[in-house]
Amino acid sequence: MKKNRWTSYFNILLFLVPLFFLGTLNFSMPNKPTVSQLESRTLKTKPTFALNKLFSGELTREYEEYFADTFIFRENFVKISGKIKELWALPGSDNVTLVINKGANVAEVQKDKDNSPPTSNNSDDNEDLKQGNEENENPNTTNINNEDEQAKGEVLGRVLVLNDKAMEIHTFNAAACEYYASFLNSFQEKLNDNNISVYSLLAPTQIEFVTNKRYRNLSSPQKKTIEYVNKNFNTKIIPINAYDALKPNTDKYLYFRSDHHWTALGAYYAYTAFMKTKGIEPIPLERYEVEQVSPYLGSLYSTTLGSKIRENPDTVFLYKPFIAHEYTVYYEGPLQTALLDMSHAKNKNKYGIFLSGDRPWGRITTEIKNDRKIVIIKDSYANAFVPFLLPHYEEIYIVDPRQFKLNIFQFIKDKGIQEVLFLNYILVTDHNGFTDLLKQMSK
């Protein structure tokens, strides 16, 4: 009996001593990291003390999140845990994971309590994945049934990891689609100018073109969502059918495997659809000099940390503009930069090469003296698209509603703009958050 008791004591000590040692190191460690390079996100900062937060319990929660994010050797533990869990996959089966993702393109915070993340139309999503497959989990993976436990106010999405590809999952939300369409209608009506054309291009994402129907059906049919939004437009909004331009070319490198964006090639086919709608011949792809930047592990790799994605990184193909131009971005004042900003080639986020990333607004002036002026109101899907417009416009304006602080109608009037293109990806219709940001520009 005594031997068993001492064995128990020893086991307890074996468990507690390392915890005490690591905990002491964690508390005493100076200069805690503020950014996770592995996950490409900002870590929680040390909470500030306030009595109301102490009594409400908020301070305790903030400290828990802070220590969880800055625990000593955290990134090493994340890597090791992910590798161990990957050993659970069945030999010869698809490597499949469902991951909860804080939306990359949509607004991060929702003010509308009714705007909670929608659940999938397929109630048996999890069961379908489990049959014949083991979920290739990593430390960022969350069971999809835990969505209801999300922090209040956060916009969450789901990501499917299928072998070496990570893809955001779209969920049809009729009310959000109608809300988006209603804004564009009111926007067009408030312009009160029949000489200004308003276009809408909703970009489908990679999961829509997955050949395996079993996994494709985890996402709502995006073609139907786009058609539903277009059906709610008034007759003066001109839809751009990028879907039909992309679909015949899905055997090509249209989307990144590790990132939620399309490639420049995918953006090119959307551009051809825009030109077709306008009755203009698009510039042949062969006209462009191509440059490659690699390796690239994008936003969805940071979310999923999938080993197969890491082993098969992306390449960024750049179709270099042949039209002389100047590109200026604006914060408090103007800053001239490159349209394809190669300083981002050294960064983790190499998609930032396009337009030098997301800026409040920018202006491109070209050598094309045709007095044509367009503004693209966009999320980051437009970044790879815009360079293809240079041969067709004298001035191109780019507006990102996530950062833009001016009144958009006064902006359009002051710049003498004749065309407005709303270019966003399909997930902006999953929630009201992005449309709320669009509305803020109109006040």
Q: What is the DSSP string of 163-175?
A: TTEEEEEP---HH
Beta strands, E only, 103-209: 156-162, 165-169, 197-203
CB proximity list for 204: less than 8 A, separation 6 or greater: 222, 223, 226, 242, 243, 246, 425, 426
Residue percentage of the chain with pLDDT more than 90: 61
Beta strands in 310-394 (DSSP E): 314-320, 325-330, 334-337, 361-366, 373-378
pLDDT tens per residue across span 164-213: 999 999 999 999 999 999 999 999 999 988 899 999 999 999 999 999 99
Average pLDDT over residues 425-435: 96
Q: Is the pLDDT of residue 425 over 70?
A: yes
More confident residue, 394 or 306: 394
Report the mean per-residue pLDDT for the chain.
Answer: 81
Q: What is residue 353's three-state secondary structure?
A: helix
The contacts of residue 74 (CB under 8 Å, 6+ apart) are 36
Band of residue 144 on the pLDDT scale cut at 50, 70, 90: very low
pLDDT of residue 51: 67
pLDDT in tens, 76-92: 555 555 554 444 443 44
Q: Give the pLDDT score at 332.
A: 83
- Mean local confidence (pLDDT), 276-293: 98
Q: Which segment of 40-44, 122-126, 314-318, 344-348 scores lowest on mean pLDDT?
A: 122-126
pLDDT digits (tens, 9 = 90+) for 220-233: 999 999 999 999 99
pLDDT score for 259: 97
- In this prediction, residues 147-151 reach a mean pLDDT of 35
Q: What is the pLDDT of residue 77?
A: 54
Mean pLDDT of the region 46-53: 68
How many whole angstroms separate alpha carbon 45 and alpha carbon 109? 19
CA distances to 182, 194, 290, 429, 443 from 189, rounded to whole Å, are: 11, 9, 41, 21, 14
Q: Model confidence at 20, in pLDDT bands (50, 70, 90)?
A: low
Amino acid 48: pLDDT: 73
Given a cut of 70, whether residue 66 has pLDDT beyond it is: no
State the Cα–Cα distance between residues 443 and 438, nearest whole angstrom: 10
Top pLDDT among 77 and 354 is at: 354
Q: How far apart are CA 303 and CA 40, in angstroms?
A: 8
Kindly tell me if the per-residue pLDDT of 296 is higher than 60.
yes
For residues 372-391, average pLDDT: 98
Q: Please tell me the least confidently modeled range out of 32-36, 380-384, 429-433.
A: 32-36
Q: Is pLDDT at 245 greater than 60 in this prediction?
A: yes
pLDDT at 42: 59
Mean per-residue pLDDT, 84-108:
59
**SS3 label, residue 425:** strand
**Using an 8 Å Cβ cutoff, are 284 and 59 in contact?**
no
C-alpha to C-alpha distance for 428 and 379, rounded to whole angstroms? 9
Segment 5-19 shows an average pLDDT of 64
Query: How many Cα atoms occupy the beta-carbon half-sphere of 294 within 13 Å?
Result: 13
Closest CA to 159 of 226, 206, 94: 206
Contacts of 270 (CB under 8 A, 6+ apart): 201, 203, 240, 242, 245, 246, 262, 385, 423
pLDDT at 357 over 70: yes
Res. 25: pLDDT tops 80:
no
Q: In this predicted model, which residue has the larger pLDDT, 7 or 157?
A: 157
Count of CB atoms within 10 A of residue 232's CB? 17
Residue 29 in this model has a pLDDT that exceeds 80:
no
Q: Could you give the CA distance from residue 221 to residue 251 in angstroms, rounded to a whole number?
A: 19
Query: Whole-model pTM above 0.95?
Result: no
Q: How far is CA 118 from CA 169, 233, 363, in A?
A: 11, 23, 37
Residue 137: pLDDT band (50, 70, 90) is: very low
Q: What is the residue whose two structure tokens read 């500030």?
A: 48
Q: What is the mean pLDDT of residues 95-101?
A: 80
